[in-house]
Chain A
Amino acid sequence: LAKTTQPISMDSYEGQEVNITCSHNNIATNDYITWYQQFPSQGPRFIIQGYKTKVTNEVASLFIPADRKSSTLSLPRVSLSDTAVYYCLVGDPPGGYQKVTFGTGTKLQVIP
C-alpha cells in the first residue's frame, strides 16, 4: 500500500510556474500516479496521470523519475482560478483504489 507525502500548503503569485512534489517510496509495479484538483464545494477533478517519465496535457505536466519514488505536478503560469487543493494518488486503478488513501492534499493559494 503506497503511502504518499505532499506539502500541506503552498503559495504562489499569478503567472508563476508551480511545482508540487509527492513522495511515494513504496510504489508498486502496477501503480499509476494520478493527480486530482478540488475546488471548494466540488468533487475532485482528474488533472493528469502517469506511469513513468513525463506526461503533459493542456493543463499540467507530470514528471516521474526513473525510480518512481516521487513525482512532481507542474502547473505553468498559474492564475487565481488555480487556487485549489491538489491530491496525489498512487495505486492501480480502478480495482486497486480500494486500498488507496487520498490524504489531505496540498492547498495551493495563488496570490494576485
Chain B
Amino acid sequence: DAGITQSPRYKITETGRQVTLMCHQTWSHSYMFWYRQDLGHGLRLIYYSAAADITDKGEVPDGYVVSRSKTENFPLTLESATRSQTSVYFCASSERTGGSPLHFGNGTRLTVT
C-alpha cells in the first residue's frame, strides 16, 4: 500500500544505547521530515531532507543523526540515547511542488530508561 511507514511502533531502550528509528515512504516525495512531540511543546522539527543526500538541521537536532541515501528512506539515529529523548517521533514527507502539504506516519513511541 502507498503511504509512509514508521518502525518500530514502540521502542524501549536504555540510556547510552544507540537506536535507529526507520521511516519509509512509497510516494517518491522529495522532502522528508522528522519531528518529536512532547506534552506542552507540540511538534518540533529535528531534521529534514530536501532530496537524497541532502539533509539539514531543524529546531532541535542535538543528539540525533540522519541520513538519506535513498529517496524513500529517512532513518533517524539517536547515537547515545538520553532520558530527555523519551518522546513520540513522527516522520513526514512532502512533494517538492510549492504548497504541497505534509503527510505523516503514525509515529514511534520511544522510551529511554
Contacts and interface: CB of A to CB of B under 8 A. Distances in A.
B113 to A, nearest CB: 21
Interface residues of B, number: 30
Q: Which among B40, B42, B101, B107 has the highest number of chain A CB atoms within 10 Å? A: B101
A50 to B, nearest CB: 10
A101 B58 CA distance: 10
B33 to A, nearest CB: 7
Interface stretch (B13-21, B65-73, B92-100): B92-100
Interface string B73-113: 00000000000000000101011101111111111000000
7 pairs of A and B residues whose beta carbons are closest in the complex:
A43-B104, A94-B94, A102-B43, A94-B31, A46-B101, A102-B42, A104-B42
Interface of A: 30, 32, 34, 36, 41-46, 49, 51, 87, 92-95, 97-98, 100-105
